[in-house]
Amino acid sequence: MVDITNYVMLEIGQPMHAFDMDTLESCRIVVRRAAEGETIVTLDGKEFSLTPANLVICDGNKPVALAGVMGGLNSEITEHTTQLLFESAKFARDNIRKTSRSLGQSTDASSHYEKGISEYTTELGMARALHLIQQLGCGEITASKFDVSAGAPRTGKQFTATVSGINAILGIEVPADTIVDILTRLDFQIRRDGDTLEVVAPRYREDIEIGEPDLAEEVIREYGYDHIVPTFLPSATVTSGGLNAGQQAAAKVKRTMCGQGFYEVSTLAFYSDADLDALHLAADAPERTVIRLLNPISSNLTIMRPLLAPSLLNTVVENLKRGNAEGRIFELANIYVPRQIPVTELPEEKLHLGFAAFGEGEDFFCVKGAVEGLGEAFGLTFEYERAADVPYLHPGIAAWLLCNGQRVGVFGKLANDVLAELPLPKDSKTSHKIFLGEIDYAALMAQVQPAMRYRPLPEFPEVVRDLALIADEPVTCGAITAAIRKACKNVSDIELFDVYRGEQVGAGKKSMAFKVHFAPADKPLTPEEVNRFVKKILGNLNYQLHVEIR
């Protein structure tokens, strides 16, 4: 019997339910609103506390089904059932949808009811189920039948339309006889009086609601969309389209990232607490203050993301599982920061640029080069600070990204303890090569000048000097390059090309060799001028960082 009800639902789209008559306290079936706090246990064993917004089917005393969603456990069909009651019904779409969402109980039946069931299908479903019982010889059908339609008419929706009104909507002239012929073939009852049409829609066409617009849709679907000729509205003018400044900047970011070998991805704006746990974020971390969904569509999509990193890391893991051993991906998307908890207003949506790189050929400096390429595209110069306090990044291979002294992002290698817990293939040779980064897009764009200024190429050649410097081990390359630029405005570029540690430089020391490019202004640089520049640079390095020439 249960198979028959499921078959009818799949065959003609009419959900049905069968009650064990012996479990009903009376022969009455009452459809009513649930009382506040009234409970029901459904067939899957879940108990729900109901409100008057929910519709229940009762046996005259207690609820035996959650209308349009699922039957009750107290009236289910078992191997001991000897007599049953079939129910075929139509419910208001919005009521079933709200009940299903509020209780977090989605079923095949509720999905059908949410889309709409016609009274015609309700009757057809009952007739089809009884026919199958008779055809299969699995039961005897009684003459007892109860119709609780409250005298609802057995005809389709009736309304008046005009041929001119249909043609006005379509913007073309479809002959009246053609309109009548099309609608008649679609099972509409049409009575025409000149321009006026008296229309009766088929009973199974629940989607016909607003008269002429719906009829126009039916007509053009059969008449052919190729008959529509594109025309301007009487008051229309041709306008020049284009992207605004924000859209142009976002497009430039995406082009630049693609030029660096990254592929754009689009991930869901939701994930779960488990994704934040995987990053080893502390319980009191700011990212733990999240917006939780009341009715998540899945157990792993329960919160709105406060970071892009988990979304990108999950994408990397999926690629590695599928044998994609290397790659670069990025996403420009919103994160969601609650203004207060509990949530009483819409969250702050902040645009972030997240990126990830994985594979044997990747290292920290490859990713750093890609970040610098992004900066160059917008005329920005970045500085870097060691990022040892980001729990999901390696403390020795991670850096804060600074622009004009302000932190705008962070990037680095995935921490070893985080990496070890990822569900990666055991034979993955690239599992130790995952790099993540995230940039606050608004903070980055705030550093971009409104208009870029271009200078002509220098008329005279640059002068290059190699400087081998001895510094204390903690002194970073970024600190040295910043000091060099500050000491001389003629420096156009600085390249680190060698790092040496050994007995020759002493314990706790390192040697760093740089190529320093000096750009001339309006005349060639003389050796004396370059010597003065170098002397000033060395003096500034010694004063600020205790760095000496080797």
CA distances from 132 to 5, 180, 478 (A): 10, 38, 80
Does residue 488 sit in the same domain as residue 349?
no
pLDDT at 316: 95
User: In the predicted model, what is the mean pLDDT of residues 387-405?
Assistant: 93
Q: How confident is the model at residue 350 (pLDDT cuts 50, 70, 90)?
A: very high
Does residue 282 sit in the same domain as residue 398?
yes
Q: Is residue 62 part of a domain?
A: yes
What CATH number is associated with residue 194?
Answer: 3.30.56.10
Q: Is residue 294 part of a domain?
A: yes
Does residue 131 sit in the same domain as residue 182?
no
Does residue 205 sit in the same domain as residue 259?
no
Q: Which domain holds residue 488?
A: 463-549
Give me the chain's average pLDDT, please. Answer: 90
Q: Is residue 54 part of a domain?
A: yes
Q: Is residue 192 part of a domain?
A: yes
Q: How confident is the model at residue 451 (pLDDT cuts 50, 70, 90)?
A: confident
Q: pLDDT tens-digit profile of 476-489?
A: 888 899 899 899 98
Q: Is residue 148 part of a domain?
A: no
Q: How confident is the model at residue 381 (pLDDT cuts 50, 70, 90)?
A: confident
Q: Which of 235-249, 363-377, 437-451 has the lowest mean pLDDT?
A: 235-249
At residue 54, does pLDDT exceed 60?
yes
Q: Is residue 126 part of a domain?
A: yes
User: In the predicted model, what is the mean pLDDT of residues 518-547?
Assistant: 91
Q: Is residue 184 part of a domain?
A: yes
Give the orientation angle of helix 163-170 with respect to helix 176-185, to 10 degrees. 90
Which of 427, 430, 404 lies closest to 419 in space, CA to CA?
430
What CATH number is associated with residue 270?
Answer: 3.30.930.10
At residue 428, does pLDDT exceed 90?
no
What CATH number is associated with residue 544?
Answer: 3.30.70.380
Does residue 23 sit in the same domain as residue 172?
no
Of 446, 477, 493, the position where a domain reaches its end is 446
Q: What do you get for the CA distance between the two ends of the chain, in Å?
A: 92
Does residue 417 sit in the same domain as residue 469?
no
What CATH number is associated with residue 10?
Answer: 3.50.40.10
Number of compact structural domains in the chain: 4
Does residue 213 sit in the same domain as residue 281?
no
Of 136, 171, 194, the position where a domain reaches its end is 136
CA distances from 534 to 94, 499, 515, 541 (A): 77, 20, 12, 10
Q: How confident is the model at residue 235 (pLDDT cuts 50, 70, 90)?
A: confident
Q: Is residue 67 part of a domain?
A: yes
How far is it, in rounded angstroms, from Cα 481 to Cα 20?
83
pLDDT at 268: 95
Q: Phi/psi of residue 513, each to 5°?
A: -105, 130
pLDDT at 478: 84
How far is it, in rounded angstroms, from Cα 376 to Cα 370?
10
Does residue 426 sit in the same domain as residue 524?
no
At residue 128, does pLDDT exceed 90?
yes
Q: Which two tokens stand for residue 140?
A: 């005897």
Does residue 250 sit in the same domain as residue 309?
yes
At residue 431, does pLDDT exceed 60?
no
At residue 430, does pLDDT exceed 70?
no
Of 136, 166, 196, the position where a domain reaches its end is 136
pLDDT at 455: 75
Does residue 472 sit in the same domain as residue 526?
yes
Does residue 27 sit in the same domain as residue 112?
yes
Does residue 289 sit in the same domain as residue 169?
no
